[in-house]
Amino acid sequence: EPEKGINALIELAAQVQKIVAIAQPEIGTTVTPTIATAGTTENVVPAAAQITVDVRVNVVSEKARVESAFDALQPTLAGATISVSGLINRPPMHESSSTMLYAVAQSVAQGIGITDLQGIAVGGGSDGNFTAAIGVPTLDGLGACGGGAHADTEYIKVSKMGERAALAAAITRALVAAS
């Protein structure tokens, strides 16, 4: 009698569209469902379901709005319940936190023959988000060059590894010399 159960997978499916609607990409708030699980076997109505959502904000005030929106989610199926856990675990990293260090990087890059150094914002998260949030000048992304981050197509440009190491070393030397 599967029709008598509360199908957690059906409830989860209804919630996914509500969750995605929380995003406001025009201001840098992304809400991306990434992992969903439900059920234990094919002939049992799923009693529980879970979704993992990657949330990123560029504006500190968005954290409260997004968390309130998650807390306001209501079940669509009679008898279903929703439990939200976890929080946005990284503050946004603003460009201003890297301005000084980026100027140093541009200066030393020219000196070691790197002519195509570009600053970009990618909306990702790293430990740099924490240091930037407490006012420590932070320059992120000095590692490998490549593309396809976090996908099956992810790659690094091995030919650029020496150049990247030289850039990190040159930045360090410049900062030590200036202190």
Instruction: Choose among 33, 35, 89: nearest CA to 57.
Output: 89
Least confident window among 22-31, 47-56, 137-146, 168-177: 137-146
Q: Which residues contact 153 (CB under 8 A, 6 or more apart)?
A: 147
- Mark whether 56 and 106 lie in a shared domain: no
- Mark whether 58 and 122 lie in a shared domain: no
Amino acid 112: pLDDT = 94
Spatial separation of the C-alpha atoms in residues 75 and 63, rounded to whole Å = 23
- Mark whether 174 and 100 lie in a shared domain: yes
**H or E element that contains 169:** helix 161-178
What is the phi/psi pair of residue 174, to 5°?
-65, -40
Average per-residue pLDDT in the chain? Answer: 92
Total number of domains in the chain: 2
Domain assignment present for residue 33? The answer is yes
pLDDT digits (tens, 9 = 90+) for 82-138: 999 987 888 888 888 889 999 999 999 999 999 888 888 777 778 889 999 899 999
**H or E element that contains 177:** helix 161-178
Domain of residue 12 covers 2-71
- Mark whether 117 and 42 lie in a shared domain: no
The pLDDT of residue 78 is above 80: yes
Domain boundary at 15, 37, 71, which?
71
Q: Yes or no: say if 93 and 132 are a contact pair by the CB < 8 Å rule.
A: yes
Domain assignment present for residue 145? The answer is yes
- Mark whether 119 and 174 lie in a shared domain: yes
Q: Which residues contact 108 (CB under 8 A, 6 or more apart)?
A: 167, 170, 171, 173, 174
- Mark whether 61 and 110 lie in a shared domain: no
Domain assignment present for residue 79? The answer is no
Domain assignment present for residue 149? The answer is yes
- Mark whether 36 and 105 lie in a shared domain: no
pTM (predicted TM-score): 0.75
Domain boundary at 28, 55, 71, which?
71
* Residue tagged 């560029």 (tokens): 58
Q: Yes or no: say if 53 and 31 are a contact pair by the CB < 8 Å rule.
A: yes
- Give me 95's structure tokens: 């460009």
pLDDT digits (tens, 9 = 90+) for 139-149: 988 888 999 98
